[in-house]
Chain A
Amino acid sequence: MKLFIKKSENKQNSYNSKPERNYGKLLRVSILLISFVAITPLIILTLINYFQYRKTYEADIIYPLTRQTSNLKNNLESFIQERISVLKYISQSYTADELANAKKLSQIYHSLRNSFGGFVDIGIIDKDGIQINYVGPYELLGKNYKTQKWFNNVIFNGIDVSEVFMGFRGFPHFTISVLKTTNTDKHYVIRASISSEILNEKIGSQEIPSYTDLFIVSRNGFLQTDSKLYGKSLDKFPLKLSLFSKRTDILQTFDNHNRTILLSYAFVSNTPFILVEIASAESLMSNWSKNRNQLLLFLIVSIVLIILVVVWGSNRFIRVIKENDIRAARMMHEIEYTNKMASIGRLAAGVSHEINNPLAIINENAGMIQDILQTNEEFPAKDKIFRCINSIYKSVSRCSKITHQLLGFAKRMEPKLEEINLNEFIVEVVSFVHREAYLNNIVINVKNPQYGTITLVSDRGLLQQIFINILNNALEAISESGRIDISYSNIENDCVEIKIADSGKGIPEKDLPHIFEPFYTTKKEYGTGLGLSITYGIVKKLGGEISVESIENVGTTFTIVLPKVSNITGEL
């Protein structure tokens, strides 16, 4: 059976005029193309999604951060502005003498403390920098501030808000100073100090998420309030904030510990303060990165799934194409084969009719010569002429055999189905060749290992042709002394398997794939090359299969599988 399949594949190649498709390439192109078409929109969508998510996240994170910074900055600005205004008010409402008066200043100090929180003390400094009046918990009267930067600043600008510093008081505070100008060129500076505690309170009162750090830094880079991450008040702030901006600004950067941070900052106007709010980007973005990872995971899983499905689908698709191609090629071959057979059939019918009459005439002429010779006793070279006549007879008989086979090949009679007892039938067929076998010392063995009777519904004539063709081949293969074993048995699918094995010379391997092809003969002078081809055609017509196995010098076995009820299709 294997050999038979191989044979039909061989044939298919030789008959298939279409160039073979490159299925590997087709598969690769199909996988690449479908994957590309399927994955590209997915990636684009994911990217769009990614950026949209990102935007949303930024809006969710950055805007609240800057808003909070801005609000607090405004709050601080108005707090300080309020205190500046009240000091300005004092400077304008009281005369220099009143301010220099300790009792009066004490009054002012108390009403100031009652109305505006945060003031620790208040002092009056004359134009030479000497503290001439002071109300507060410290002994600062007579201190000279002449050389201090803030003093020059207030003389020059009229207002000064200092950084937080320890100073003479020994606790962190900052001062607000305003200049009181008089007609007499006798300028005074009113200076009040405010505990930096008030800044801490302001910051502390803000509701901030745990991952943010809110504090104030001076323009000189010192912390003005305590920071969760960057030290205590008056420590040096490790990051540089050099870009002055009137508006609240936000930037993503790395801190001294190499953490990614979102830094929102705002310059508090008229003060050396910069309000800084730092959020750890990692914790802020953790949700985002979780989402991003999910998105990425989804993308990867989708791509993997798509590729799997595409590869699977393409494989299946290409396999179907390939199967269809093979089927089409096989069908093409069958059609070509049938057409070829039909042409041969028509030709053969014509030829054999035309040839039969001349053959008969040759035959009769030879007979006539023989008759004449037999009636004339003395005739030179009589024996030789007889031999020639015999040779003519033999040749005519050979020609006749060929035309007969050709016609058998071309025959288009409708087969007739009948019930055939296979056991009896084989005995009958064997009897046809029995005499020849006997003469050549060949034993024919018939064996039915299952013993029961097997009945076929088939065409007797066609079956006979199959058996006689194969048996004749077997006899010729053995030529002298040997055996032929015929066995038959029921097999599955309501079929019968018949094996005809001979102990003949076998078929060379190179010939095996061709033995069912028409006009393929190894018998040189006397074979027509039609016998097995016809047999093959008949077996096919009866809906069966025929295969051959052969080992040179050991023997040949033909295996025929026939359905018990033949389903005859087409013509021979």
Chain B
Amino acid sequence: MNRIKVLIVDDEEELASLLAERLNLRSFDSDFAITSVDAIKSIENKLYDVAIIDVRLKGMNGIELMKLIMQIQPQIKVILFTGHGTEEEGRRGLALGASKYIVKPINLENLMLEILGVLEKKG
């Protein structure tokens, strides 16, 4: 069975880990990273279908990280996490290659739908 590989990048470790764990319970193959350095390490080691990145990360801006990740794995689909009020950054991300931005908090069912939706577009 070909599980969808997802990388979650969010500096809220608890949130990132919970999301990853819950996605895994639902037959996804997901990892999480809490810093951009960890995220790049993961990207270099494993091929992912989707990366979910918080636009506001400590150290590096989520959009900068997205650009780096897309250089390493051009096929990867990126979903950006934004808070309310930072939708503008989300829109900027879309212009720079992100497939989708979602506003936190989001329930898991919707997140899964978004992931599937993004991959569907890929065809």
Contacts and interface: CB of A to CB of B under 8 A. Distances in A.
Interface of A: 349, 352-353, 356-357, 359-361, 363-365, 367-368, 371, 375, 393, 396, 400, 403-404, 407, 410-411, 413
Nearest to B107: A363
Contact of A407 (B19, B84, B105, B107): B84
B84 A361 contact: no
B123 interface: no
Interface residues of B, number: 19
B16 to A, nearest CB: 9
Nearest to A360: B105
Contact of B18 (A367, A375, A411): A367
Given A404-B84, A413-B88, A357 B104 contact: yes
B85 A410 contact: yes
B85 A352 contact: yes
A400 B83 CA distance: 10
Contacts of A359: 104-105
Contact of A360 (B12, B21, B88): B12
A158 B103 CA distance: 146
B1 interface: no
A353 B85 contact: yes
B14 interface: yes
B15 interface: yes
A364 B84 contact: no
B22 A363 contact: no
A403 B107 CA distance: 16
Interface of B: 12, 14-15, 18-19, 21-22, 25, 83-86, 88, 103-108
Contacts of A413: 88
Nearest to A363: B105
Nearest to B17: A364
Contacts of A371: 22, 25
A361 B18 contact: yes
B10 to A, nearest CB: 8
A133 B108 CA distance: 169
Contacts of B12: 357, 360-361
B50 to A, nearest CB: 18
Contacts of A375: 25
B73 to A, nearest CB: 26
Contacts of A356: 83-84, 104-105
Which 9 pairs across A and B sit closest by C-beta, in order of nearness? A364-B18, A360-B105, A407-B85, A407-B84, A356-B83, A359-B105, A361-B15, A363-B105, A357-B12
Contacts of B22: 364, 367-368, 371
A364 B85 contact: no
A353 B89 CA distance: 14
B18 A353 contact: no
Contacts of B105: 356, 359-360, 363, 396, 400
A359 B14 CA distance: 12
A367 B83 contact: no
B85 A368 contact: no
A360 B15 contact: yes
Contacts of A349: 85
Contacts of A353: 83-86
A357 B84 contact: no
Given A352-B83, A356-B83, A356-B104, A361 B88 contact: no
A349 B107 CA distance: 22
Nearest to B11: A357
Contacts of A404: 84, 103
A411 B21 contact: no
B104 A360 contact: yes
A412 to B, nearest CB: 9
A401 to B, nearest CB: 10
Given A352-B83, A356-B84, A357-B12, A365 B107 contact: no
Contacts of B83: 352-353, 356-357
Nearest to A365: B18
Contacts of A361: 12, 14-15, 18
Nearest to A408: B84
Contacts of A403: 84
23 contacts: A352-B84, A353-B84, A357-B12, A357-B83, A360-B106, A361-B12, A361-B18, A363-B107, A364-B18, A364-B22, A365-B18, A367-B18, A367-B107, A371-B22, A371-B25, A375-B25, A396-B105, A400-B105, A404-B103, A407-B84, A407-B85, A410-B85, A411-B85
A357 B15 contact: yes
Contacts of A396: 105
